[in-house]
Structures are given as structure tokens and as C-alpha cells.
Amino acid sequence: MSTGVTCEDIRQANNELRSELQIQNLQGASHVGNYQNQWQKPITEYGRNDAQWQADLNASSFVGSIDVDASDWEESRKAVDVVMELLLKELKSLTVKHYRGLRIDSYVRQGSSREGLKVLKADEFDAMLEFHFDGLESKIDETFLKNSDGYRIPGHCYLEINGVDLNDLRNEYQGLHAKSVFIESAGKLYLSSKNLHTKVFQSMVDKAIEKINQQIYNHEITTGQKCSFGLKNDRTLTRKMNPPSINVTITFKRDLIYERVGRVRADKELDLDFVPAFLLRRDKTTTYEGVLLNCPIHAICKWAEENSFKALDFVDQNLIWDVKSLGYERHILDVARRDKRKLYILTALRILKTYFVKTKEIARQSGGTPPQIVALLKSYHLKQLAFYLINFLCHKYPNFEVDGVQKALLYFFCIIRIALKEKHLPHLFFSENSVIETMLPGYPRLPGPKLRPMLGLHSSWDGKWVELMLANDDGSQHSMLSTYS
């Protein structure tokens, strides 16, 4: 039986963090999508632009340099990986001890640090923690949610358990049953996302952090050597509530040497957000540029969400799960790193992300209010807009000119204006198949009818909006400089 994290693990982790940094190849791993599970440093590609426009963009206090410092990136990703391995080892040990039948598999890296979309700082990392129920998975079925009008709610589900009764579950999965992970409702059995999240995973993470902190303390006492990821308030790691994510804050200690000043202490904090994720199935039909994707589809705990919209008022918040198909996104973005036309779109996306971040900070420092669009649109919304541009400009209408980031930004602004005018924001993977099938042949059809939530939420989007934008584009090079002033 695993003993979890030991002093020897801490010693090895500390040595790893003190080893020489290896600068990552920008092209990243040879594999893509589902077969690539490492953090990726962004690739910035500007292409052919008006020289004065480029100079003004680079000098703008609202944009400027969008890139993450190479050393900062390598240092941060190494520290996060080391802590992730320690957490994984301790969490696996805890499941064996306390939750028979629950099996933690591995992390699936996601978010901007995995997708190569990070801007400015390497201080936030996201992952899914994939788990399984041994002996039960064949009995767990995804149940679609519909409102009182019969409209399906895209991206959400219940997980129903069939073929067993509550007594069977009590006997076979005592630890999980004691935490009310299995709930009977209207004569049916379900997995409770809320109880699994709060009573099992959050509890285990707290215990894992406590164990790791204790072993760090033991290591420092017995060796007299300080750990590179040092103590914060007598704790190396702290966790913040941010459902559905479980947040772990890592305090990383390092010495920086400045000429004329000497050795200076420069601690930094890194945020690791991960969500427990149950593997529902794999997509066996969708291809991208001739490659079968085999994308994993996960259900993550979604019992709480910020600004919950009315479409979900009727559901049982103890039971609701969020269906994630991020494998499609990862594959498309990985392939885009090798294609300049697509890289212009991704660089334009990162310019907009930088503008949003810096505009909020400038407003905060001045005591003012940022533009409404900056407060309204989230990074995820901008990324979905980028997927639409890749779909239409690189697959459906590849003859349209995209020779640089200036042109890509023009298309971005057009698509944002259309989305705001229609009072819907797009979610490419909830679109009608007529919109997405050119880029992703074989993509599973979504049963209808589907509810289309309003601005700021997951929604379907009619592709004619983008077609209208393309039809009305006159190909002119707008200056767009007022955006950054």
C-alpha cells in the first residue's frame, strides 16, 4: 500500500527545482491534442503589417509586449509540475486508504498554459484530475437536461447509476457512500457532483497539503536545507475555495542575482487550479485535417458557478455535472502552432487578452472603470471567437487574406461587433453541424431542440453571422490604433 509523500520525495523535488533550467522548444512536443500533455510556451507570430501600426502597438501601454519571459516560464512550469506530482502521489494514497473503488488516474493539462495562449506572466496553471469508479463505470449513464419547455441545456448533465441499488453501493463503496456521493432521487440513483467535490476531493486535497507541508518541515529540520518552494504562513501550499476548481497556491522561493546589487530574495506565487473529472467516453468519429481525434469527453463537478443563469434554476445543484470536450480545442490549437495563418489568429487573440488585462489594471490603478466590454467578455469567450475565425478563415473560406496579425485583429473586431449586436456569444462546439462540419467532419450531432442562452454564457451561434461579416469585409487595413490608446 502506498505511504504517500515521504521526505525522500521532498528531497528529490527540491533537487529538481534547483537543477538548471532547460528552455522549452517553442514548437513543443511532436504529438498533438490528446497525445500531448505538457505545458506549452506561446508562439508569437506577427506576419506582414503596416510598420507604423506595428510600432504603435508595441509602444502602447495597453498592449506592448505580450510574451512571457522565457526563464519565468521555465521556472514556473517546473515548479508546478513538481508540486502536481507530489499532490498526485498523496491523493492516490488517500483514495486507497479511505475510498475503496475510487481510482485517481492522472492529470489532463488544460487552459492557456497548456494551449500556448498565456500572456505576460506564467503564474496560473490549470488541469483536470481524471478519476474512475472501479466496477461501476459501465453502469453510469449520462442523462441530458431539459427545461420545462423541452429544450436541452447544452454542456450539462446528470450521471445516473443503473443496475444496482443503494444497498449494493453501501456495501461495495463504503467510504463514498458515507460521504453521500450516491443520491436517490425520484426512484433513481445519481452521482452527486457537489458531495464528491466538497466531501471527498476537497477534503483529500486539504489532507494532502497538510502531509506535504509536514514532510517539507521534516526535510528542512533533518537536512538543514531550505526547500525551493518555501513556507507561507507556516504552510508551503494553501488552498482557496473556487468551485468547481480546487485551487492550490504555491509559494516558490528563489534568489535572483542583480549586477551591482547582489543576491536578492524574490519569492513568487503560482496558482494551480484543477477540477476532478470523470471520463464519460471518447469520440470515435470526429476528424481534423484527416486525423481521427479520439477526443476524451469528461464530466466535471459543476455544482456551483458564478452568475448562474436562469436556464439552470430548475436543476438539482447537488447532481449537475458540466460536460467538457476540451480535447477538440487542444488538438486544433496544437496544430495551429505549426501554421502561420492560424498563428496570426492566435497572436491576435493574445493581443486582445493582453489589452483586457492591462486595461483592467490601468483602470484599477487610476480609480476608474474599464470599458464595459472588458468587464463583460472573459478570456474563454475570446478563445471561442478565435475558434470561429480558424473555422471560417482557415477551413470554410481559406481564400480570404490573412497575412498578418493586423488583418486577423480586423476580423476579430468584426466578429465581436456581430456577436454583441446579436446579444449572443458563440460556443463553436455547441453550434449547428452545418457550421462546424467543414472543420470537424464526423462531429457528433447534438440532439435538439437546444436552448440558446444569452450573452456571456455558453450558447450556440448561427454561422451566418460570420458569413455576413466575411461578405461585408472590403479587405481594407483599418488602423485600429484607437483601441489601444
Provide the pLDDT for residue 485.
Answer: 35
Provide the pLDDT for residue 450.
Answer: 57
Residue 358, judged by CB atoms within 10 A of its CB (0-12, 13-18, 19+), counts as buried
Distances in whole angstroms, Cα of residue 209 to Cα of each of 16, 18, 236:
19, 22, 8
HSE (side-chain half, CA atoms, 13 Å) at 474: 3
Provide the pLDDT for residue 28.
Answer: 53
Positive or negative CA dihedral for 3, 79, 329, 316?
positive
Provide the pLDDT for residue 252.
Answer: 82
Where in the sequence of the chain do the CATH 3.30.460 domains occur?
A: 1-23+68-137+191-326
How do strand 268-282 and strand 124-133 relate by DSSP bridges?
Answer: parallel
- 374-406 residues labelled b (16+ CB within 10 A) or e (exposed): beebebebbbbbbbbbbbbbbebeeeeebebbb
Give pLDDT < 70 ranges for the chain.
1-2, 22-30, 230-243, 254-266, 303-314, 447-485
Q: How far apart are CA 20 and CA 471, in angstroms?
A: 53
Type of residue numbered 126: D
Could you give the 3-state DSSP secondary structure of residue 480?
coil
Provide the pLDDT for residue 462.
Answer: 46
Provide the pLDDT for residue 473.
Answer: 54
Provide the pLDDT for residue 79.
Answer: 92
How do strand 245-252 and strand 255-258 relate by DSSP bridges?
Answer: unpaired
Return the CA Rg of the chain. 24
Within 8 A by CB and 6+ apart from 254, the residues are 75, 228, 266, 267, 268
Q: How far apart are CA 389 and CA 473, in angstroms?
A: 14
Residue 135, Ramachandran bin (φ over 0: left; ψ between -120 and 50: alpha; else beta): left
All cell numbers assigned to 474: 472590403
| H runs (alpha helix) in 224-276 | none
According to CATH, the topology of domain 1-23+68-137+191-326 is Beta Polymerase; domain 2 (3.30.460)
